[in-house]
Structure 1
Amino acid sequence: MAEHRRWLLVSLFLTKVLLLEASKILTIATMGGSHCRLMKHVSQILQDHGHNVTNLLHENVPFQDFKKEKTSYEVITWRPPEDQEKEFHSRVYLLVEELFNERFNHHTLVKMYKYFVDVCSHLLSRKDIMGSLRKKNFDLLFLDAAEPCVFLIAEKLEKQFVAFLPMQFSFMDFGLPSPLSYVPVYGSRLTDQMDFWGRVKNFLMFFDFSMKQRRILSHYDATIQEHFAEGSRPVLSDLLLKAELWFVNSDFAFEFARPLLPNTVYVGGLMDKPTRPIPQDLEDFISKFGDSGFVLVALGSLVTLHQTKELIKEMNSAFARLPQGVLWTVKEDHWPKDVRLAPNVKIMDWVPQNDLLAHPSIRLFVTHGGMNSIMEAIQQGVPIVGIPFCADQPENMIRIEVKKIGVSVQLETIKAETFALTLKEVIEDKRYKTAAMTARAIRRSHPLTPSQRLVGWIDHILQTGGGTHLKPHGFQQPWHVQYLLDVLLFLLGLTLATLWLLKKVLGLLLRTLCVARKEKKA
């Protein structure tokens, strides 16, 4: 009997495994650059775990700086017609230039999303692409939530989906409890330890951020009206709450502690991979500096393309004052001809960043503060000097400073002498290295790796038919019910009615007493 039961359990287990292997998952990231790189990595993780993965890829996206390579999962590519693609590209190049000149103000951000809306509208109108996706009858969609179009695609395909947030929580409201007394609003530049005026600022910033978010989402209204029939048009903000799970590209070693819901999972560090020996030419360069070690400078693909002559000149001069060697990602054809390269600096189009961060001779990482770069630095326990340019980068660097892992330098203030002093301070002050190693210990001490957490929760959703049991009923309540405004109004009304009744009763008693006194006197 026991043997029969054992075989029955084994059979059930194998059946589940076979069913999971047959699960068809569509991964979508409509933005380029690091978003596509990360989604490619997620696609491979899920494929290696036994799922049948298809990746929808916007081909030839501007600044999509990675090589085409063979994959074991299916890739469906799409691109607009040539004339429309040229128009899209010219728009985005102008916006990126404006982004770097005006430092990511809200006006530029709105224009960026208008561009994404137009690309989204084109994709939804592609009957060949949408029809092909519908025929595949996917079991689950995995969406990069940085651009709202992915939620409209999921709604159009009428499939369950999980969402992946490649940046901080505060960038998007998807229903998490966010007490304003210690959860900073996106753009506030505050920490979780706010004084009175900090809480005032955070409270006011909440309303400002909410209005800006509504304005951005409202740009998709025309696209929704065009591509969804009347009576079935979704509200974009409501679609965020439909996600079965939210995966967040962050970690307890980096993020401020805050309330989470059961359907919210940290998976920061998905790009982690085993380190490999670095190329011999880099090893030879590093060895020249002996115990002084080296500094790695990698400011991201976008920034690398738009480093100004003045910035390169000041940074190069600062690096020349260091005893360390410096490996710096600068494309050779972008290097100003009248600027002489410092003797301790080696410039390269591309560097094996993760392998260099794991090198025993590294002393400092100079970065733009992108989430993936920060996760790699924390994984290896490397102190950071950040030069944030845009998006979530300034907010990321605030957390790095609070954790004492490094310091942030404003782009406008970079001068050779002061920048060199900042670099030396972080290299020589052992407190930064100690804090980086503490964050490394937190990061590495999880019982499961980011990839294991990702596939484990995906399997859970597939096995249970969704994540309804992980989401609070509050997602289905109107806002006035969720925030107990109806209860407060009822209690206020009851209190006022009681006071009014009490006043009437007291008035009646006083009049009765007055009449009684008059009768006695008479």
Structure 2
Amino acid sequence: MLWVNVLSFLAVSHVYCDAAKILVFGTSNSKSHMISAGRIVDVLVKDGHNVTFVNLEVGHSIINFAGVRHLNVVPLGYVTPEEEHEYTEMVAERTKHTFDKETVWRMHDGTARFVESVVQACERALSQNTTTLNQLKSENFDVLITEQLSACGTGLTEVLNIPVHFIISSCALFDPIAKIYGVPTPMGYIPTAMAFSSATDSMSFTQRAQNLIESEVVSNAWMNTYTDTTTLFRKYYGNNFPDVRDIMVNRTPFLFVAVDDLIEFPRPWPPNVIRVGGLGIDFAHAADGLQLSEPCASEMTKGEKGVVFFSMGSAANTAGFPEIAKRNLFETMKNFSDYHFIIKVDKSDDFSRELLKDAPNVFITTWAPQPLLLRHPRLKLFITHGGYNSILEVANCGKPLILLPMMYDQTRNAGVVERNGWGKYVNKQTLLKSNKEFKQALTELLENESYTIAAKRIQKLLQTKPFTANEVFIKHINFAIANNGQLPELMPVANKLNLIQQHSLDVYAVISGVVAVIVLIFVKICFKLAQLFLQKLSGKDKCE
């Protein structure tokens, strides 16, 4: 039925004379990533392109997911309800360990397990969806756009004979992808994408060493996704199948990164790397015509000094948080009696509900209309996990943040916000000891007006920047299509150079050697002259 819908849609949309046939490839391992992929589809369809959305099912099934509005979805590697339940249980179990002390080896193992799960999903698609893949190939797509989380989409570019390939990184650019495309990543002041110890662009020696180690360890684990995916496609399509990294480089005129330059560490970008943070989201009109319903409407009127909203997103289940951490969080909030707190927890989080049931300044809920709450004039502060979409959303509302990163790129995101003065990063580990750091941050954010002023500034910057993410994305897509996806003029050669060549270490070594030889010769000459002078002086003394 889904495939019939796709074919019907493609037939109707041929009325667009300049429309390209575009295949958008996403994965369902994260609800936020499914939503992001759906937004890409919506932007392309709105511009008049013929779009098919192919989703590699990893953990979640896309079929009944309400977060994707696009009706023309082709699932690959179907996830059964039983498998989805197991995946949900696994995520809940993983949350119990989010407060464990992070190490590079733990990060390496987590990355390796994720890569393995995505490659396994890709193999299921290749082995079980042959008919669907043949139907897709017969459509003769012009373009394939894939997220960075799976190289399966890149491999399908070759299988389906699609000439133009784009990658969109749904978060800060992964270091291994930066290496493949030759994107400069000075580790002395650019925090690695999956930083977990700290994230700042003003690093001490120890921080620079930690940053470099974290980058190399995670990159090592992530590179397996390209090696293993290439091996997988060669298993099904022969040993001559190209390395997916070669497909990435040779068929990709633009690499899109879903960050906004105003909410990112300033760094060098080549001309073929385009930033599109907020793609598919119309922040200015997201809440047009919508009003808060009860009980949230009444809750927003409470609190003498205003309202604080607490939400940890969908990836981290609060039921799995250590009880001591939740006690330090929520007991602290109860003591700020001049403010009303709206606290979103998971359905199974009975401990938090029991802890807060008698708190007069707390409303606890399992769901909240986040966009409407963030826009409300009485909202004074947002306490969040630091997912990039949430940060973009609150930035467009001009509200300050307390950030409690749980996993992935969230520590880095928190560092960006803290760098620019409109939020405060609190290490989750401190909540296992006391409420001291969280209480200090809460007091400072609520009493120090500078954070609100900085938040209003970032809001104005975002509202007045020259081009929206949608405009930038569509113009670059259409430009590349108009030129057959061939833009070698924009491709840096850095990805073809080794570390020594990129940084001219051999040149520095030769120059250092020449300087050392000159200095050595100079020292020897000086030493020789000194000897001659002393000998002459000694001979003169003897004559006297």
TM-score, with normalisation over the residues of structure 1? 0.81
Of 355, 359, 367, the match for 1:339: 355
Write the distance in 1 (CA, Å) between the matches of 2:46 and 2:505.
50
What residue identity is the alignment partner of 2:26? A
Distance 1:458 1:425, change over 3 A: same
8 Å contact kept, 1:54–1:73: no
Cα contact 1:52–1:73 (8 A) shared by 2: no
> Which residue, out of 346, 350, 366, partners 2:367?
350
Q: Decide whether the 8 Å contact of 1:318 with 1:417 is kept in 2.
A: no
Contact kept, 8 Å, 2:270 with 2:492, in 1: the verdict is no
Tell me if 1:300 matches 2:313.
Answer: yes
Within the candidate set 428, 440, 457, 1:438 is matched to 457
User: Matched residues in 1 for 2:86 and 2:294: separation?
Assistant: 40
Query: Residue 118 of structure 1 aligns with which residue?
Result: 120
Aligned residues of 2:386 and 2:410 also touching (Cα < 8 A): yes
CA shift digits 1:276-313 (9 cap, x unpaired): 332243221111225x1111112111213644361444
Letter aligned with residue 303 of structure 2: F
Structure 1's 81 and 338: CA in aligned 2 closer, same or farther, altered over 3 A? closer
Within 2, Cα distance between the matches of 1:377 and 1:220? 37
Cα 1:298–1:340 change in 2 (3 A) is: closer
Shift of 1:489: 11
Matches within 5 A, 1:317-328: 317-322=331-336, 323-328=338-343
Distance in 1 separating the partners of 2:198 and 2:491? 30
Match of 2:184? 177
CA distance in structure 1 between the partners assigned to 2:202 and 2:62 by the alignment: 38
Q: 2:25 aligns with which of 25, 28, 39?
A: 28
Calculate the aligned-residue CA RMSD, in Å: 3.4
CA change 1:170–1:333 in 2 (3 A) is closer
Please report how far the alpha carbon of residue 95 of structure 1 lies from its aligned counterpart in structure 2 after TM superposition. Answer: 6.2
Deviation by residue 1:433-463 (Cα, 9 ceiling, x = unmatched): 1221222222222111111212121121122
Q: After superposition, what is the alpha-carbon deviation per residue over 1:294-338, rounded to whole angstroms, capped at 9, x for unaligned?
A: 111121112136443614444332221122222222234433364
Q: Partner of 1:25: helix, strand, or coil?
A: strand
Aligned pair 1:141/2:144, yes or no?
Answer: yes
User: Share of identical aligned residues, percent?
Assistant: 23
SS state of the match for residue 179, structure 1? coil
**Distance (whole Å) between structure 1 residues aligned to residue 24 and residue 136 of structure 2:** 11
Shift in CA distance, 237/406, structure 1 to aligned 2, threshold 3 Å: farther
Q: Structure 1 residues 262, 321: CA separation in 2 closer, same or farther (over 3 Å shift)?
A: same
Q: Mean Cα displacement is larger for which, 354-363 or 51-60?
A: 51-60
Matched, 1:363 2:383: no
Partner residue of 2:272?
A: 263
The CA deviation at 1:136 is 1.6
Give 1:367 shift. 0.7
In structure 2, what residue type is equivalent to 1:119? A
Q: Distance in 1 between matches of 2:120 and 2:482?
A: 37
In the TM superposition, what are the counterparts of 1:29-428 in structure 2 within 5 Å?
29-30=26-27, 31-58=29-56, 61-62=59-60, 67-68=65-66, 71=69, 74-80=72-78, 82=80, 86=82, 90=86, 93-94=89-90, 97-98=93-94, 100-101=96-97, 102=100, 105-125=107-127, 126-159=129-162, 160-171=164-175, 172-173=177-178, 174-186=181-193, 187=195, 189-203=198-212, 205-215=214-224, 217-236=226-245, 239=248, 242-270=251-279, 271-273=281-283, 274=285, 275=287, 276-290=290-304, 292-304=305-317, 306-308=319-321, 310=323, 311-322=325-336, 323-336=338-351, 338-341=354-357, 342-414=359-431, 415-416=434-435, 418-428=437-447
- Count of aligned positions: 478
- Normalising by structure 2, report the TM-score: 0.78
Cα shift at 1:151: 1.8
Superimposed CA distance per residue, residues 461-516 of structure 1 (whole angstroms, 9 cap, x where no aligned partner)? 12222151453251673537953879759978x979x99xx9xxxxxxxxxxxxxx
Letter of the 1:294 counterpart? V
The Cα of 1:383 is off from its aligned counterpart by: 0.7
For 1:195 and 1:70, the matched residues in 2 are separated by 44
Q: Cα–Cα, structure 1 residues 183 and 218, in superposed 2: closer, same or farther, change >3 Å?
A: same
